[in-house]
Amino acid sequence: KAGVTQTPRYLIKTRGQQVTLSCSPISGHRSVSWYQQTPGQGLQFLFEYFSETQRNKGNFPGRFSGRQFSNSRSEMNVSTLELGDSALYLCASSLDRGLASNEQFFGPGTRLTVL
């Protein structure tokens, strides 16, 4: 079974631009979550999508948005990029059987650098 895939793996953008990152979950997984990892703030939750609906949202500005498609693939978008958006963006998928023990499987991440 293929794992969680994220594209692209590396991305360089300039301030003010916008970027779209893609995540393909493990086949059959309906929940997709996004996290931002930075040296200063660690791993921070951005949002979670389940059956095409945003189920949870972290404390990030409205420049960060996401969506999920009917095949569970997800994209996240960051508009008006700032230098501080430089980070590793991680996607995680889960089968989500409504249990607290739903295991989340992480992709390798997209390394975004904003110049």
Partner 1 sequence: DQQVKQNSPSLSVQEGRISILNCDYTNSMFDYFLWYKKYPAEGPTFLISISSIKDKNEDGRFTVFLNKSAKHLSLHIVPSQPGDSAVYFCAAKAGGGNKLTFGTGTQLKVEL
Chain positions contacting partner 1, by CB under 8 A? 4, 31, 33, 35, 42-45, 48, 50, 55-56, 58, 90, 92, 94, 96, 98, 100-109
Q: What is the dihedral of CA 101, 66, 2, 11, to 10 degrees?
A: -130
Residues paired with residue 18 on neighbouring β-strands, in sequence order: none
Query: Minimum distance between the CB of residue 89 and partner 1, rounded to whole angstroms?
Result: 10
- Which residue number, 16 or 108, has a Cβ lying nearer to partner 1? 108
Query: Minimum distance between the CB of residue 74 and partner 1, rounded to whole angstroms?
Result: 13
Given the DSSP bridges, would you call strands 87-94 and 42-50 parallel, antiparallel or unpaired? unpaired
Query: Minimum distance between the CB of residue 32 and partner 1, rounded to whole angstroms?
Result: 9
**Whose CA is closest to 6, among 49, 35, 38?**
35
